[in-house]
Structure 1
Amino acid sequence: MAEGGTPTGGKLIRVVLDDDANGLTPMQEADRNQAIVDLAADNNFALASDPGRQTILHLSVQDGRLVFDIRSEADETLQILVLAPGPFRSMIRDYQMLLDSYAAAVAEGREARIQAIDMGRRGLHNEGADLVMARLEGKILLDFDTARRIFTLVCALHRRM
């Protein structure tokens, strides 16, 4: 289902982060890898102009901007969307603080704190998904779960924004 509940038939057949994982904490790397695995298993993502097409997403940061390079199955660019990072910055900062707090709570074995932080993290993921959907509205059709996973990948790229 895409935004508005309409099935698109469009799927991401691959997601490529044009960045390496160097400098990520183990928690960030685990989040990043899980988002890629989850997107490979289940996603709804399509160009609004061609909702049935299977695509490849190259996600990167170039010159401080977030770049969605959407490609065909033959890896030829179909559309490039460039987003200013400003609207994402405070959420990314908050997400990083939550991950750091989560890692500290795990190290200390504080189960109640871990659960509270995890609830906050889910809430922030929801806000991030809403922002991703709003920023891509009219250009990309995607569902909420796909947007949540893309937000995780945007957070993984934050070092270059």
Structure 2
Amino acid sequence: MSEGATHRIKGIQLDPDGLSGASAEVEHERRVAIYDLVEESDFRPDGAPGGPYDLMLGLKDNRLSMDVTGPDYRRGHMLSLTPLRGVVKDYELICESYLQAVRGASQAQIEAVDMGRRGLHDEGARILKERLDGKIDVDHETSRRLFTLVVALCKRG
């Protein structure tokens, strides 16, 4: 890495063709994930001399498209979503359960659903990190935030 180069994300765009009409909660999660990634991320594309990087995420042919651009670096990656499909579906379901629980369940029930939600989020982040192996090295928090965006892209209105 050259002196002064940083391996972080400086900007993110989501392909608008892949986004469905989202609830206020989902839209808020997207904005928070993007903000957090821009504020703090560890994002190291293989072979890149240094960032910061712009990232375009989208869905193409049932795959996750990741276009990465940085100083002296431009590369696109296509990842099969098949390994993530089950955890994305389960995560969406538990998020719905969480929102229902917040509206009327006991504190213990809310905490139990939230633990399950966080566990699925971690599982999705782990799978995404594995799928990126050899392409882009990310830390756990960066992978968690990217997984949030993958879920947003996978939602169908």
What TM-score results when the alignment is normalised by the length of structure 2?
Answer: 0.87
* Alpha carbons of structure 1 residues 30 and 113: separation in structure 2 relative to 1, 3 Å: farther
Q: Does the CA contact (< 8 Å) of 1:46 and 1:55 recur in 2?
A: no
Where in structure 2 are there 5+ consecutive unaligned residues? none
Q: Does the CA contact (< 8 Å) of 1:45 and 1:141 recur in 2?
A: yes
In structure 1, give the amino acid aligned to 2:47.
Answer: S
Question: Which of 14, 34, 37 is the matching residue for 2:35?
Answer: 37
In structure 2, give the amino acid aligned to 1:131.
Answer: I
SS in 2 for 1:60: strand
Show the counterpart of 1:157: 153
Alignment deviations for residues 114-155 of structure 1 (CA, whole Å, 9 cap, x no partner):
211111111111111111111010111211100010001000
Alignment deviations for residues 80-132 of structure 1 (CA, whole Å, 9 cap, x no partner):
10011111110110111111001111121532222111111111111111111
Matches within 5 A, 1:73-112: 78-112=74-108
Give percent identity, aligned residues only. Answer: 38
Show the counterpart of 2:54: 56
- Give the RMSD, CA atoms, in angstroms: 2.0
What TM-score results when the alignment is normalised by the length of structure 1?
Answer: 0.85
Show the counterpart of 1:70: 68
**Moved segments of 4+, more than 4 Å:** none
Task: Between 82-91 and 103-112, report the one with greater CA deviation.
Answer: 103-112
Show the counterpart of 1:3: none
Q: Does the CA contact (< 8 Å) of 1:27 and 1:99 recur in 2?
A: no
Aligned length: 151
Q: Does the CA contact (< 8 Å) of 2:8 and 2:38 recur in 1?
A: no
* Alpha carbons of structure 1 residues 115 and 51: separation in structure 2 relative to 1, 3 Å: farther
